[in-house]
Structure 1
Amino acid sequence: MRKMLAKKRIALVAHDNCKKDMIQWVEKNSESLVGHDLICTGTTGRMIEDALRHKYGDEAIDKVSISRLKSGPLGGDQQLGSMIAEGKIDVLIFFWDAMHAQPHDVDVKALLRIASVYNIPTAQNRSTADFIVTSPILSKEYTPKVYDYSSYISRKIDL
């Protein structure tokens, strides 16, 4: 059984046209995010670090744990998917651009699929992210329902 601790591991991802919105959201919710671990795809993570440093100074970076993975198109989305499967991500905040095709669209779909399979709270827009970050559950221990997919794995395939 997977248990989320009070200190959550929150993945933050934003497509290029959504990065400004993500930065504004992080700045607005920085006090709620302090005390949690932030795992970001490369460019998004750098921009979040820069914004927090600009707004609060270098001490802000000391208060917020930010880990940066590769850029999304260079494998960062896949890294996050792997971390979800390994139980290393508790929440996914993914501001994706629904109006433009992405060159790594299959990776985006795979990331959203694996988040659903592992029952990870996922925000795909700012309103949903606001609901998640203001939930009292965010800073409490929580045990999500884990689904049993063994029937999918154990099916015998006749060739």
Structure 2
Amino acid sequence: MVTTTLPPRTFGLAAHRLHRSTADGGLAQWAAASRPALAELQLGIAAVGGCADAIEQHALASHFPHLTRLPYGREGGVMRVVSRIAGGVHPEQELAGAIYLLDPLDPSSLYPEAQALKRQCISHGKPLLLTVAAAVEWMAVEAALQAGVSLRARLPAMVPSIDKQSVALIAHDALKSAMVDFAFRHFDLLSQTQERFATGTTGGRLNEMAWSRGWPRDLPWVQPLRSGPLGGDAQIAELVLDQRCDKVLFFEDVHVARQHEADIQLLERAVCTKSFEAACYHTPAMADAWARAWA
């Protein structure tokens, strides 16, 4: 049922045609896998026009406790999501996060709206979920935290157990200390993952932290790769494409000029290419919530 008022917490929802054009596409699979979490959270969904059409066409409306419709993308629907992530014109329309299921081959993935949405979500500390895998896991994360139970006890079918996940840890200069602190606090959990990778200086600092915690000094806790500007992001992209890495925890600093912006976009496009397997979480707050849910 489509409503005209937003519940206390609402996520914006958009998806490229690849994910919404068929009854078994990414949008439908996410809605089915996340239906219990959406109901438990009583989460509102504000769907951009094409998504709203697909929800109706594929008879998915019953999956959403609260559903509102935004204009089509060509009429400014995604622009409205960006504005409302930042607080919007009307405070009651503010969004708590955004799901944007991207097709990396769709030219609109490079439009200003898509870039601005990422920037505003990171700036305001709100979740941005760009793949089916991320959207499924994140709904389960929020539901587990709300219920005060471990995600391990209620794992959606599409989400692998923590010992089957491989994690990349990336942080820009201003956030490297935050990454080391995150890894220190969640060391036991992260040590349960199948493999860990890190770029440049971040990798060196994480290994030093792990050795100080008693990790064997002859074994790297994270596999160190090149720094981002020298190809580390591209190396992780290849690991994602080879399905050796399915979780990217990327502490991004969107407030400084980044000389290797193309490499960052390449990594994100690799993650979106593996939409049903890979996820990228962009902020310390998202990484911390993810880790607490798995504890």
Smaller-chain TM-score bracket: 0.7 to 0.9
Q: Counterparts of 1:98 and 1:122 in 2: how far apart (Å)?
A: 15
- 2:260 & 2:168 partners in 1: Cα distance? 18
Task: Indicate the SS of the match to 1:135.
Answer: helix
Contact 1:52 / 1:61 at 8 angstroms: preserved in 2? no
Following TM superposition, by how much is the alpha carbon of 1:70 offset from its aligned partner in structure 2, in angstroms? 1.0
The question of 1:35 aligning with 2:192 is answered yes
CA drift of 1:83 comes to 1.0
TM-score using structure 1 length: 0.75
Match of 2:231 in 1: 75
CA spacing shift, 1:124–1:59, aligned 2, 3 Å? same
The amino acid that maps onto 1:103 is Q
Could you tell me which amino acid in structure 2 is paired with residue 118 of structure 1? K
Deviation of the 1:35 alpha carbon = 2.0
Residue among 265, 269, 273 paired with 1:109 = 265
Given the alignment of the two structures, is residue 129 of structure 1 paired with residue 287 of structure 2, yes or no?
yes
Please state if 1:16 is matched with 2:147: no
Asked if structure 1 preserves the Cα contact closer than 8 Å seen for 2:206 and 2:221, the reply is: no
SS at 1:134 equivalent? helix
Over aligned residues, Cα RMSD in angstroms? 2.3
Q: Secondary structure at the match of 1:112?
A: helix
Q: How far does residue 67 in structure 1 lie from its aligned partner after superposition?
A: 0.7
Q: 1:89 to 1:15 in 2, by over 3 A?
A: same
Counterpart Cα distance in 1 of 2:210 and 2:198 = 14
Q: What is the CA-CA distance between 1:87 and the residue it aligns to?
A: 0.9
C-alpha offsets along residues 55-109 of structure 1, whole Å, 9 cap, x if unaligned? x2454875x7421111111000001111111111010000011110111011011
Q: 2:243 aligns with which of 59, 66, 87?
A: 87
Paired residue for 1:154? none
Q: Hey, what's the Cα distance between the residues in 1 that align with 2:223 and 2:268?
A: 20
1:152 is matched with none
- 3-state SS of the aligned residue for 2:196? strand
Deviations 1:13-60 (A, max 9, x none): 111111011011100110111121211112111010112223x24548
Contact persistence 2:200–2:224 (CA under 8 A): yes
Q: List, as ranges, runs of 4+ consecutive aligned residues in structure 1 with deviation greater than 4 Å.
A: 2-5
**Is the 8 Å Cα contact of residues 91 and 121 (structure 1) preserved in structure 2?**
yes
**Residue type at the aligned position of 1:34:** S
1:47 is matched with which residue?
Answer: 205
Alignment partner of 2:197: what SS? strand
How many Å apart are 1:4 and its aligned residue? Answer: 4.6
Are the aligned partners of 1:84 and 1:118 in contact in 2 as well (CA < 8 Å)? yes
Instruction: Report what 2:16 is aligned to.
Output: none
**Which of these two proteins has the greater Rg computed from alpha carbons?**
2
- 1:96-142 CA-partner distances (Å, limit 9, x unpaired): 11110111011011112221231222110011112222334x9xxxx
Structure 2: unaligned runs, 5 residues or longer: 1-157
The DSSP-based 3-state class of the residue aligned with 1:98 is coil
